[in-house]
């Protein structure tokens, strides 16, 4: 009788052992870049950890969804994924350390958890890779995020999503921000219903139903909705995720990167530095994808194969004393989110003062009722936006003669419907920037 019972239970026991062994990663295990089909999976197979080939000789290690969307990767000091060659190995060492080693033998990334009593590593069904000392979590991928947030993952004030030069952060007062180069905040959203002054340790979560919520220890379990995916509350058997992309925009997706359901900035050209230093962001008449170009023929692309790297002067201003001119850019603004030198003088003086100042390299005058002049001094970064709706003109110092770009009308005909649509989008954005805390680097057209 007992034997029969054991025989009946045996397949069940075997089943339990095999499923847990896929979730728990034994100390001393390794994954090899040379074999990308070898992975560590979560028990429900919704997530796996493994190498992905990014180009013929480079590999990255990442946690991905079953459909191959990466949600976490190793990032060391720089803000891009740690890359190894085909000899790369990802190891869970018996001392408790997780380590990514290059074929050359160099340690490219570590979890720095040696000697912390780590006894186990596991990838759970929510996509969290956890290193635990018995049952106490010492380190987890959720607490060390890269550029992505998934449901079940808590983002607190000490966790930053990063992608290249951009970062996304939850501030202590509950505001959320997008920042360029750790210095320029180009997007911010504050709280409305949770009293900001009462917030002590806020937590941001992407709910499985597609709503981004903020809760706080002081709010007795209440949470505030921060953003809604456009398919929120739709019963969908997809993994939603929020990602800060290398283009500086924060988006929510349903399932894969082709199903975008929310974006922090509807107008991509509003992302600071999208076109690099002295690059100008604009849209073609027939397309909603932004394009980057240089301010004039006095400039050239830093990298012709990557227009987002910005522009540089063909001749530096220091090398043309006596021949310095101001390039006039109509319907163009330069974003200045930082405090700038502001004076209330007219547009002509604003242009002239910059031209005659050795430190000024760009100037602008914002003139509704007052003539406000903004000066930008070197060294600084200029991020430009050009659009037919912008009633602004910007000036940049160049070596004469000024060689304007051929006008878009000369370059191409146009689809007037799309043109109007874009005008409207720019108008909304302009309104937001005009009335928010942010100050646009704007000049009124000199008619
Ligand atoms: C790659 O890994 C898979 C899964 O562990 C294994 O079945 C396969 O034999 C490995 N291939 C090589 C060439 O080692
Ligand atoms: C990895 O090793 C290759 C040579 O095998 C080397 O070119 C590369 O720079 C190394 N990468 C890192 C991050 O150490
Ligand atoms: C970053 O990489 C270096 C080796 O290049 C390694 O010594 C260091 O521990 C790594 N830092 C982290 C936090 O992984
Ligand atoms: C996220 O926060 C909630 C509430 O504070 C907590 O119950 C949960 O365990 C946290 N999740 C993770 C993965 O830390
Ligand atoms: C954030 O880090 C600071 C200092 O490192 C620490 O005092 C604080 O408790 C942390 N906050 C959270 C919510 O983890
Ligand atoms: C980013 O900031 C650092 C200083 O923190 C500065 O040295 C660097 O030039 C900045 N990058 C750009 C592209 O301006
Ligand atoms: C947070 O947002 C609120 C409301 O939008 C604003 O008043 C406050 O100044 C913001 N805090 C910070 C640190 O920017
Ligand atoms: C914030 O704190 C004040 C004073 O403690 C309290 O009266 C108020 O109800 C709190 N607000 C919220 C939204 O919890």
**Tens digit of pLDDT for each residue in 252-273?**
999 887 899 999 999 999 999 9
Q: Is the pLDDT of residue 92 over 60?
A: yes
Examine the pLDDT at 180 and tell me if it is beyond 70.
yes
Tens of pLDDT along 290-312? Answer: 999 999 999 999 999 999 999 99
Could you identify the residue written with the tokens 């894969």?
256
Q: Is the pLDDT of residue 95 over 50?
A: yes
Task: For residue 35, give the ligand 1 atom closest to its CA.
Answer: 1
Average of pLDDT values for 6-14? 43
Q: What atom of ligand 8 comes closest to residue 195's alpha carbon?
A: 13
Q: Would you say the CB of residue 157 lies under 6 angstroms from ligand 5?
A: yes
CATH of 148-266, one of 3.30.420.280, 1.10.1740.10, 1.10.3720.10, 2.90.10.10: 2.90.10.10
Is there an atom of ligand 6 within 6 Å of 381 CB? yes
Give distance in angstroms: CA of 331 to centre of ligand 6. Answer: 28
Confidence of residue 416 (pLDDT cuts 50, 70, 90): very low
- pLDDT bin (cut points 50, 70, 90) of residue 196 is low
CATH architecture for segment(s) 270-409: 3-Layer(bba) Sandwich (3.50)
Phi, psi of 421 (to 5 degrees): -60, -45
Q: What angle do CA 364, 369, 370 make, to 5 degrees?
A: 50
Collapsed DSSP state (helix, strand, coil) of residue 226: strand
- Three-class SS state of 148: strand
Q: Is the pLDDT confidence value at 433 over 70?
A: no
Q: pLDDT for 113-155, tens place per residue?
A: 999 999 999 999 999 999 999 889 999 999 999 999 999 999 9
Task: Name the least confident of 256-265, 407-416, 423-432.
Answer: 423-432
Question: Taking the domains of the chain in order of start, what are their residue ranges?
Answer: 23-140, 148-266, 270-409, 415-446
Cis ω before 280 (30° cut-off from 0): no
Please give the order of strands across the beta sheet that includes 70-73: 39-41, 47-55, 58-65, 70-73
Are domains 148-266 and 270-409 of this chain identical in fold? Answer: no
Residue 372 pairs in a beta bridge with 366
Average model confidence (pLDDT) across the chain = 82
In short, whether 26's Cβ falls inside 6 Å of ligand 7 is no
pLDDT in tens, 16-60: 333 333 368 999 999 999 999 999 999 999 999 999 999 999 999
Using pLDDT thresholds of 50, 70 and 90, give the confidence band for residue 288. Answer: confident
Instruction: Supply the pLDDT for residue 408.
Output: 62
Average pLDDT over residues 190-212: 83
| pLDDT for the residue 292 | 97
The confidence score (pLDDT) of residue 350 equals 77
Q: Residue 108: CB within 6 Å of ligand 2?
A: yes
Q: Is 76 in the pocket of ligand 3 (CB under 6 A)?
A: yes
Highest average pLDDT, of 169-173, 215-219, 335-339, 372-376, comes from 169-173
Query: Is 447's pLDDT higher than 50?
Result: no
pLDDT given for residue 339 in this prediction = 60
DSSP string, 152-182: T--B-TT--EEETTEEEEE-TTS-EEEEETT
- What are 17's two structure tokens? 């052992």
- Identify the three-state secondary structure at position 53: strand
- Average the pLDDT over each of 183-192, 319-328, 343-352, 394-403 and give the range with the smallest value: 343-352
Nearest atom, ligand 4, residue 153 CA: 13
DSSP state of 261: E
Cβ atoms of 265 and 373 within 8 Å: the answer is no
Q: Tell me if 154 CB under 6 Å of ligand 4.
A: yes
Candidate from 81, 91, 109 with most ligand 3 atoms within 8 A of CB, to mutate: 109
Q: How far is the CA of 148 from the centre of ligand 1 (A)?
A: 29
In sequence order, the 6+-apart residues with CB closer than 8 A to the CB of 191 are 173, 174, 175, 199, 214, 224
Mutate which of 174, 191, 195, 197 for ligand 8? The one with the most ligand atoms within 8 Å of its CB, which is: 195
pLDDT of residue 393: 79
Stretch 311-328: mean pLDDT, rounded? 92
How many whole angstroms from 201 Cα to the centroid of ligand 5? 9
Q: H-helix or E-strand containing 25?
A: strand 24-25
- DSSP string of 387-443? -TT---EEEEEEESSP-BPPPHHHH----HHHHHHHHHHHHHHHHHHHHSS-EEE--
CATH number, domain 23-140:
2.90.10.10
């Amino acid at each position: 009788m007992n034997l029969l019972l054991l025989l009946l239970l045996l397949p069940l026991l075997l089943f339990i052992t095999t499923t847990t062994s896929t979730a728990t990663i034994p100390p001393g295990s390794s994954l090899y870049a040379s074999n990308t089909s070898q992975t560590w999976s979560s028990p429900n197979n919704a997530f796996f950890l493994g190498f992905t080939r990014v180009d013929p000789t480079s590999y990255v290690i990442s946690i991905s969804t079953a459909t191959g969307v990466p949600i976490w990767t190793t990032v060391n000091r720089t803000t891009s994924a740690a890359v190894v060659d085909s000899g790369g190995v990802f190891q869970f060492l018996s001392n408790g350390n997780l380590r990514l080693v290059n074929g050359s033998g160099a340690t490219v990334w570590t979890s720095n958890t040696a000697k912390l009593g780590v006894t186990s590593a596991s990838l759970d069904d929510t996509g969290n890779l956890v290193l635990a000392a018995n049952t106490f979590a010492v380190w987890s991928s959720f607490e060390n995020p890269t550029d992505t947030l998934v449901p079940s993952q808590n983002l607190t004030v000490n966790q930053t999503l990063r992608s290249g030069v951009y970062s996304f952060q939850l501030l202590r007062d509950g505001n959320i921000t997008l920042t360029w180069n750790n210095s320029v905040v180009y997007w911010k959203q504050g709280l409305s219903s949770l009293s900001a002054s009462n917030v002590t340790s806020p937590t941001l979560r992407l709910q499985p139903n597609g709503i981004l919520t903020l809760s706080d220890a002081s709010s007795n379990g209440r949470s505030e909705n921060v953003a809604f995916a456009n398919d929120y509350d739709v019963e969908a058997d997809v993994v939603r995720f929020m990602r800060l992309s290398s283009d500086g925009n924060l988006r929510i997706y349903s399932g894969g990167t082709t199903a975008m359901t929310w974006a922090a900035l509807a107008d991509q050209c509003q992302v600071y530095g999208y076109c690099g230093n002295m690059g100008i962001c604009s849209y073609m008449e027939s397309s909603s994808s932004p394009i980057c170009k240089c301010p004039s023929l006095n400039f050239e692309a830093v990298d012709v194969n990557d227009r987002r790297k910005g522009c540089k002067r063909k001749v530096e201003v220091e090398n043309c004393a006596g021949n310095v001119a101001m390039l006039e850019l109509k319907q163009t603004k330069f974003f200045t989110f930082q405090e700038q030198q502001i004076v209330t003088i007219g547009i002509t003086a604003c242009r002239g003062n910059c031209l005659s100042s050795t430190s000024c390299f760009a100037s602008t005058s914002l003139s509704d009722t007052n003539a406000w002049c903004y000066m930008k001094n070197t060294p600084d970064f200029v991020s430009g936006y050009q659009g037919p709706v912008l009633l602004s003109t910007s000036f940049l110092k160049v070596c004469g003669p000024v060689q304007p770009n051929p006008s878009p009308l000369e370059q191409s005909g146009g689809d007037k419907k799309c043109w109007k649509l874009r005008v409207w989008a720019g108008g909304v954005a302009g309104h937001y920037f005009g009335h928010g805390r942010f100050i646009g680097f704007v000049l009124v057209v000199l008619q």
